[in-house]
Structure 1
Amino acid sequence: MSLPKEARVVIIGGGILGCSIAYHLGKLGWGKDTVLLERKKLTSGTTWHAAGLVRASLYSESLTKLAKYTTDLYTTLEKETEQATGFVQPGSLSVATSEARWEEFRRGADMLQSFEVECIELDRAGVQEKWPLLNTDDVIGGIFYPKDGKCNPADTTMALAKGARMKGAKIFEDTKVEEVLVENGRAVGVRTPSGTIKAEYVVCAAGMWSREIGEKLGVNIPLHACEHFYIVTEPMEGMTPDLPVMRDMDQCAYYKEDAGKLLLGAFEPKAKPWGMNGIREDFCFDELPEDFDHFAPILEGAMHRVPSLQKVGIRKFFNGPESFTADQRYILGPAPELKNFFVAAGFNSIGIQSGGGAGMALAHWIVDGEPPYDLWEVDIRRLQPHMSRKSFLVPRVSEALGLLYAMHWPYRQFESSRNVRQTAFYEDWKAMGACFGEVAGWERPNWYAPKGVKPEYEYSYGRQNWFPYAAADVKATREGVALYDLSTFAKFLVVGKHAETLLQRLSTADIAQPGRAVYTQWLNEKGGIEADLTVFRITDTKFMVVTAAATAIRDWHYMKDHIQPGEEVELVDMTTSYATLGVMGPKSRALLSRITDADLTNAGFPFGTTKHIELGDARVRATRISYVGELGWELYIPAEFARNVLRKVLEAGADLGVRPAGMHAMDACRIEKAFRHWGHDIGIKDTILEAGLGFTCAFDKKVPFIGRDAVLSQKEEGRLGRRMVQFKLTDPEKLLYHNEPIYRNGQLVGLVTSANYGHHLGGAIGMGYVHNKAGVDAAFIAEGKFEIGVALERCQAQASLAPMYDPKSARMRA
């Protein structure tokens, strides 16, 4: 078979993801227009040596849907293709040997049950029954997942490849892609030693080679290989095919029956990065050198857990490379830097489990122009350019591998590759006792330690060590004045003759208001929320868009991609040009009035106003807006003046009790005020009316916003079967984090999307969507008895459609 000259889609990489994408493009009718190119042989990179574990769940609703899809697909794939896959479903068992791990598992089980994933809580005796060879002396309990399974990764990939061929796809082995062809910022094909293929779309599913391919194209794909170890024993008594896969995460180990033998694998705390100097050209089905000393602690723990291991020999010690990412989540979707170039890579040892679902999702993304679910958590546009630098990536992936089985603490911070990006205030906050967290590479104060206390996290599922300090920050914000470092906001100037036209087309609100900071959403054609941000009008032809650090790349490219041919618009990233200081609380006006001559009264500076003022020795843009629900200003300060302004603010507010406050306090305040957070409470599959944000919509603008017709259509229906609701647990000792199930009169009706402790309201506060086909209105909420699941215990909760704190926003407008 000769290489075609044209194709609709060219896929680079013949592992399980590449073959799955080809298979699913075939199912969507694009099979005859799909070509897959593999540099060596199918599965020869990472897929062939994967352990083949298949779970029907992951750590969020959308990723669990993909995992369940994979499981369902693998149950039918062999029959469909007549190619063996080795897929069986003996279930999986996770055992806990600490109270903290047991709570983690129980909270996870609560979440998964709300996703209709079957999971069964077992006591010690139940664990022993499921795995008779187990030493359960130190086991507290376990969770059994009946639908989980295992497969032969190479055979499963071959089945997907055969299925793709049956639908018309062409697969070529020993065909290396030497170059991705680019014209006018768009991928248009590939060049190989056997010829050139023109294509409408190019997909990079090249595993640990993906970063190198992206680098040549200016596409950021931050992943790196680590060595991954497992052993296979000699035949072992008691190793029967019906044994579930077993995970002892406290000992960093997993166990799988393998043809009467035991496969023992590890996710050790500190992994060994591999391939720092590149991957040699002839790499194909290669193994890496053994490192028994590195694996020895895992084996020692395993001999305690499965004592009969002490009496059996090791048939195979395996070491092979797998790619890991900077944040433990895989990379999927359209590259923002290059149109029509898609990526599916960096699967962090869950590539077999994710193969079916991720392949299906990317195929739909290509064909339909959007993913089937909200996949922001794995979207390539979440990743920052600095994450691809080896100085950052190599230490980070060494930590990331081990974190797969480490405790998944609330608020857990990465320890490696820190202090990459610092705000202008960093040294000041550090001197004041800040404990920093990281977002998009930025160091932000999450909380402040008083004198004599180390600014370090002590993790738990209970009240962590910073809890009382965050409570004090909230008190200062609600009663006095607190300072927040908001410098990590992304700040984009939008300049030009058609700047207003572009932003009106994108924004639900009317942003053509001189001197105003306007809160708005950007929607897609279906009314889903693509962005949640603020637009400042500076002049007739100059605007500033302010958005979150985490969504900076996504929002920049969303805006850029919507500039129409012939429109005169220039975008300028001003993020690092300005430090931003939030001065928040009822005493903020009194403080700022001491260091500016500007009129800060309600008449002189109404809520939503943005303008330049003289403040101390600097000219700053002061914007009266708040994410904490109090009177306050965001001060946009030229970076070189930032520390001077901070010093003046601290001096002026000393007798007012001014204090710095961290992000934990800000989040607690916004949760009390029921302010939404994009990526948790709102996203591309949530409509603006369901989210309770319809008040931002200006339906009569001269330039209609994208998604207007969809919003009007839903509005005309007259009732909403899904709405965002705020909850407060009646027991003040219980804590919420997110993904807890919501029950009304004993029936599951939703899931908590974000949560924190409401220090002012005196209880854990959560937000989440409540579902009811007949409509969710005030009566439905008022007449229901609501409970929220916390570690398999149902806790009574109050529910409200309106914010529980200051529902009329009188305090912000005071």
Structure 2
Amino acid sequence: MPSLPSKARVVIIGGGISGCSVAYHLAQLGWTDIVLLERKQLTSGTTWHAAGLIGQLQASQNRTRLAKYSADLYTRLEAETGLATGFRQCGSMTVALSDERREEILRLAAQARAFGVQVNELSPAEVGALYPHLNLEGVRAGVHLPHDGQADPGNIALALAKGARQRGAIIAEQVKVTRVLQKDGRVTGVDYEQDGAPGHIDCDHVVNCGGMWGRDLAWQNGVTLPLHACEHFYIVTETIPELSQLPVLRVPDECAYYKEDAGKILLGAFEPKAKPWGMNGIPESFEFDQLPDDFDHFEPILEKAIHRMPMLAEAGIHTFFNGPESFTPDDRYYLGEAPELKNYWVAAGYNSIGIISSGGAGMALAQWMTDAEPPFDLWEVDIRRAQPFQRNRRYLKARVTETLGLLYADHFPYRQPDTARGVRRSPVHAQLEQAGAVFGETAGWERANWFADPGQEQAYGYSWKRQNWFENSRREHMALREGVGLLDMTSFGKIRVEGPDAVAFLQKVCANQMDVPAGRIVYTQMLNARGGIECDLTVTRLSETAYYLVVPGATLQRDLAWLRRHVGDALVVITDITASEAVFPLMGPLSRDLLARVSPDDFSNAAHPFGTAREVEIGMGLARAHRVSYVGELGWELCVSSDQAAHVFETLVEAGADMGLKLCGLHAMDSCRIEKAFRHFGHDITDEDHVLEAGLGFAVKTDKGDFIGREAVLRKREAGLSRRMVQFRLSDPEPLLFHNEPVLRDGEIVGFVTSGAYGHALGGAIGMGYVPCRTPGETMAEMLASSYDIEIAGVRHAAEASFKPLYDPRSERMRG
């Protein structure tokens, strides 16, 4: 047992594969004074019983990048450390048993090509040739990834730990961290117990790699880490004599995966309704433990598996295993610095893909800790996406019954969770529901995505083709384009920045000119030092010392953390006022006429020009009317205090009844914004995307003085762009675009669609995506001279490319 120091640069809590990877990569980057503390033995939580599947294709480009890094790392660890990782590149195969699943896996195959992952589409006969023991009844298609495989999770973790030790890290077992200490908003050290005796280590950083213990440990410091353990089942057969090496097989329509190992078959399940575990805490003695068998719960999966692989009927069961794994509300793990506490880092909640994720996650977190910024866009797994309410245990227990099964459910576009709903609601939620709203969920907010007609079921009918709301949303879309539509965007994040230094502070963190008259609205970005986009927002100056910021609901915690991180000595107060106001966008050519019916105020261009905000009367209430538009039409976003929201909403609905006012959902807003080529944070623009290459240079004012990212903007202007954001319209009006479809320039894959929707006014699917320049500074005309196609499920479709918005390129409609 190594003696523990009284001081360290970083203490890593948890000795599973995640903690060992973080230690290894920090040591590799030259960090010294690294201490990893494990409460029992290394791997004894969940790592030791993981199935060890190595699948490189993930849901996004950067998560795929991390998984590919993990696979590469595991192949070289043995030579470096002398410990075998058991990594075998036997490939993996997914088969589809329905037409919808066939569409999904063929879209995934196209996505793999866009992400640089080798993939082969398979006919049913080819599936049988690769996996001869499989009953091909019902098999529609397959995809094969030859560089996937399997590995020994425990040995990988031990190899990572050995590699860290070789570079000077201290890794101590049987040491339980009891408390993380903090002062003045930052980490100062940890208390621990070793052999019953207390101890303490001063440190600058802490990394919570506590897995299923991580949530409760984090909450001791007010850090939100929403995860919950679920029971995860698999069986291992007796040796099957005729079994040869086989690829990993996934049959998601039957909730099953198969792994051949040493002549045996491991059959695992991701059943539709999972069993949460550890609601009352995890026993102190838990170490390499199994949970009680529940054969009745597993039996439906086994029955289908025996039908799918008949030789299982003759094979004896050697092991029936049930062990806990951590799941999160959205099936994505958590990485990064907690917004609540400086230098409190998290790498946890891996949703049964911890082995393939941990190598890359450890590398990315180590670079993030070293450089104080992530190495590339990691928003999908960023801890700052977690909402404070999500630490609620009743919420987590309800949600994770579903998220485990969603791993193998059909990943339909726009799919919404069924569990743990209704936590955050607008003041007019009941009115929307009565009017036919079908709700989606973002950051816990219930948001009307579309409105059902009278007599139509108020529910989604999911598909990869046109879903049951397609025509509903088309009518909403065209109401916004041709008449008047009313939306509820109360879920927008709303931040008030005020104080004597408010203007100077916002000038520093925002790229546009913030020193504007009161009542002016500024569209801007907050940039990082690389010129990447940290936040996309509008800022309204309310007074000499007060500003009102509107950000996406999903990014509120991230944006608050970014602002607070850069306050320094500025005399400003930053307040989240999201719940205090409802926001009703009233949009369309008739919006001015409708407002004239409910307000004595003047809404003409002269009295209320585009890009300004002022207080107005509506009905018997007051609102702040912001003349901006995310749909590209004449309109106002009406900000109303929550107590008057229902009155203002009902006043508008009643006054608009005879002029065709239509309640509209988020799907219509999204299809309108994509016709107008408005960017969406998290898809089209991220912290990895340079503001100039995103086509947002018009919102950057380098002549205003210094601001974060200014030098990167000047350098990019000097060097020329290496890629540009392009808008696409498919020539064929039938196919649909969502995101991640490969973009081809002159027949070669050059990128992928960052976001897509159907453009009802333009008559076809519209997508956005970055296209690399062939030479630095290649002109727009040269790029448009090429031919473009977009691949959907293996079929290439011709696309029109444009740098100007295909809809109303001069923005005359919303300024009219």
Name the TM-score, length of structure 1 as normaliser: 0.99
CA distance in 2, matches of 1:367, 1:323: 27
CA distance in 2, matches of 1:760, 1:237: 62
CA distance in 2, matches of 1:530, 1:171: 35
In structure 1, the residue matched to 2:741 is 740
Q: Which of 347, 351, 355 is 1:352 aligned to?
A: 355
One-letter identity of the residue aligned with 2:769: G
CA distance in 1, matches of 2:492, 2:521: 15
Report the identity percentage.
Answer: 55
Query: Alignment partner of 2:704: what SS?
Result: coil
Query: Alignment partner of 2:487: what SS?
Result: strand
Deviation at 1:320, TM superposition (A): 0.3
In structure 1, the residue matched to 2:103 is 103
In structure 2, the residue matched to 1:557 is 561
Q: Which of 239, 259, 266 is 1:256 aligned to?
A: 259
In structure 1, the residue matched to 2:378 is 375
Structure 2's unaligned 5+ residue stretches are: none
Q: Which of 790, 794, 800 is 2:792 aligned to?
A: 790
In structure 2, the residue matched to 1:706 is 708
The answer (yes or no) to whether the contact 1:44–1:284 under 8 Å persists in 2 is yes
* 1:644 matched to 2:647: yes
The answer (yes or no) to whether the contact 1:187–1:200 under 8 Å persists in 2 is yes
In structure 2, the residue matched to 1:544 is 548
* Per-residue deviation, residues 349-375 of structure 1 (Å, max 9, x unmatched): 000111210111111111111222200
Structure 1's unaligned 5+ residue stretches are: none
* 1:315 matched to 2:326: no
The answer (yes or no) to whether the contact 1:781–1:799 under 8 Å persists in 2 is no
In structure 2, the residue matched to 1:686 is 689
In structure 1, the residue matched to 2:766 is 765
CA distance in 2, matches of 1:587, 1:126: 58
In structure 2, the residue matched to 1:48 is 48
CA distance in 2, matches of 1:777, 1:805: 22
In structure 1, the residue matched to 2:182 is 182
- Taking the TM superposition and a 5 Å limit, the aligned residue runs for 1:61-76 are 61-76=61-76
One-letter identity of the residue aligned with 1:708: R
CA distance in 2, matches of 1:97, 1:715: 51
CA distance in 2, matches of 1:538, 1:121: 57
One-letter identity of the residue aligned with 2:236: V
CA distance in 2, matches of 1:174, 1:119: 44
* Per-residue deviation, residues 43-101 of structure 1 (Å, max 9, x unmatched): 00000000011112211000000000001011111111001111111001111111111
CA distance in 1, matches of 2:785, 2:153: 51
* 1:128 matched to 2:123: no
* Per-residue deviation, residues 677-729 of structure 1 (Å, max 9, x unmatched): 01000010101100000001112224x22101110111122x31200000000
In structure 2, the residue matched to 1:246 is 249
In structure 2, the residue matched to 1:16 is 17
CA distance in 2, matches of 1:791, 1:196: 56
CA distance in 2, matches of 1:436, 1:139: 34
What value does the CA root-mean-square deviation take over the aligned residues? 0.9
* 1:449 matched to 2:452: yes
Deviation at 1:638, TM superposition (A): 1.0
* 1:289 matched to 2:292: yes
* 1:398 matched to 2:401: yes
* Per-residue deviation, residues 5-45 of structure 1 (Å, max 9, x unmatched): 11111100000000011111111011x32110000000000
- Taking the TM superposition and a 5 Å limit, the aligned residue runs for 1:426-441 are 426-441=429-444
* Per-residue deviation, residues 142-179 of structure 1 (Å, max 9, x unmatched): 11111101111111111111111111111000000011
- Taking the TM superposition and a 5 Å limit, the aligned residue runs for 1:313-712 are 313-514=316-517, 515-565=519-569, 567-702=570-705, 704-712=706-714
CA distance in 2, matches of 1:100, 1:545: 42
Query: Alignment partner of 1:789: what SS?
Result: strand
One-letter identity of the residue aligned with 1:21: V
One-letter identity of the residue aligned with 1:599: D
Q: Which of 270, 273, 278 is 1:275 aligned to?
A: 278
CA distance in 1, matches of 2:321, 2:750: 46
The answer (yes or no) to whether the contact 2:752–2:770 under 8 Å persists in 1 is yes
* 1:227 matched to 2:228: no
In structure 2, the residue matched to 1:726 is 727
In structure 1, the residue matched to 2:309 is 306
More displaced 10-residue stretch of structure 1: 381-390 or 41-50: 381-390
Query: Alignment partner of 1:592: what SS?
Result: helix
CA distance in 2, matches of 1:381, 1:408: 24
* Per-residue deviation, residues 603-631 of structure 1 (Å, max 9, x unmatched): 11000010111111111100100000000
Deviation at 1:776, TM superposition (A): 4.2
The answer (yes or no) to whether the contact 2:377–2:688 under 8 Å persists in 1 is yes
One-letter identity of the residue aligned with 1:27: Q
CA distance in 2, matches of 1:754, 1:593: 36
The answer (yes or no) to whether the contact 2:494–2:578 under 8 Å persists in 1 is yes
Runs (4+) off by over 3 Å:
none
Name the TM-score, length of structure 2 as normaliser: 0.98
More displaced 10-residue stretch of structure 1: 129-138 or 216-225: 129-138
Deviation at 1:778, TM superposition (A): 2.1
More displaced 10-residue stretch of structure 1: 593-602 or 426-435: 593-602
* 1:750 matched to 2:751: yes
* Per-residue deviation, residues 450-476 of structure 1 (Å, max 9, x unmatched): 101011000000000000000000110
The answer (yes or no) to whether the contact 2:477–2:669 under 8 Å persists in 1 is yes
